[in-house]
């Protein structure tokens, strides 16, 4: 039908039937409901404010706590990497300064003692105990020092490197 258009009851102009108008489509109805009073508006805003404050405080506390633990763990990793570096630089066949500028057992053992204090102060007791044991083993080697046992001393150094706890 050319030029046909809908009338107010949903049929086309050419419809000659007499019938009741159709019900309006439900999706066209905008139900505004009751008018909101100023009191209910204030109550809903206060409730929203309280929920927002509580949720933001909870979320910020969780992220702060997690971040603090991550930072502490990263700091401990860095300190243990320093211990590994000092052990790698140590020339266990020398008591004092090494031949190639590496530290010998005495300076390295002293440095390990300082690192034990640092690890204890920064809240890493497990790592502090491991470094304390390493320092004790170095001091024992210094007391029983015999430079002729060079291969055995290097194997002992490799054993120390393996025994250090991994913080990864």
- DSSP for residue 63: H
Residue 5 lies in a domain: no
In the prediction, which pLDDT does 1 show?
Answer: 46
Task: Identify the helix (H) or strand (E) that includes residue 97.
Answer: none
Structural domains of the chain, count:
1
pLDDT recorded at residue 150: 77
Q: Residue 10 falls within a domain, yes or no?
A: no
Q: Which of 93, 134, 126 is nearest to 110 (CA)?
A: 134
The residue that leads in pLDDT, 7 or 112, is 112
In this prediction, residue 37 has a pLDDT band, given cuts at 50, 70 and 90, of low
Q: Is residue 34 part of a domain?
A: no
User: What is the per-residue pLDDT across 145-159, written as a single tens digit (0 to 9) for each?
Assistant: 776 677 888 888 888
Burial of 113 (C-beta count, 10 Å sphere; 0-12/13-18/19+): middle
Contact 129, 135 (CB under 8 A): no
Q: How many CB atoms lie within 10 A of CB 91?
A: 20
Residues 85-141 have pLDDT tens digits of 888 888 877 777 655 656 788 888 888 898 999 999 988 888 899 899 989 988 888
**Assigned domain for 99 exists:** yes
pTM beyond 0.75, yes or no: no
Region 3-25: what's the mean pLDDT? 54
Q: Is residue 14 in some structural domain? A: no
3-state secondary structure of 12: strand
- 24 within a domain of the structure (yes/no): no
Domain presence at residue 151: yes
Q: Is residue 91 part of a domain?
A: yes
DSSP 3-state of 6:
strand
Domain that holds residue 65: 54-163
User: What's the rounded Cα separation, in Å, for the pair 153 and 158?
Assistant: 9
Q: For residue 156, how far is the Cα from the chain centroid?
A: 36
If phi over 0 gives left and psi between -120 and 50 gives alpha, with beta otherwise, what is residue 9?
alpha
pLDDT for the residue 163:
79
Top pLDDT among 140 and 15 is at 140
């Amino acid at each position: 039908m050319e030029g046909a258009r809908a009338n107010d009851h949903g049929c086309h102009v050419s419809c000659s039937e007499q019938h009741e108008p159709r019900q309006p489509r439900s999706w066209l109805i905008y139900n505004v409901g009751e008018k909101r009073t100023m009191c209910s508006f204030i109550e809903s805003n206060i409730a929203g404010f309280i929920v927002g404050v509580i949720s933001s405080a909870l979320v910020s506390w969780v992220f702060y706590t997690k971040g603090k633990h991550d930072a502490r763990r990263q700091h401990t990793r860095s300190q243990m990497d320093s211990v590994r570096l000092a052990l790698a630089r140590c020339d266990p066949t020398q008591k004092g300064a090494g031949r190639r500028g590496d530290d010998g057992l005495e300076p390295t053992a002293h440095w390990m003692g300082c690192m034990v204090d640092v690890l204890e102060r920064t809240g890493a007791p497990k790592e502090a105990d491991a470094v304390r044991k390493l320092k004790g083993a170095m001091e024992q080697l210094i007391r029983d020092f015999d430079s002729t046992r060079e291969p055995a001393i290097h194997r002992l150094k490799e054993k120390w490197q393996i025994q250090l706890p991994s913080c990864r």
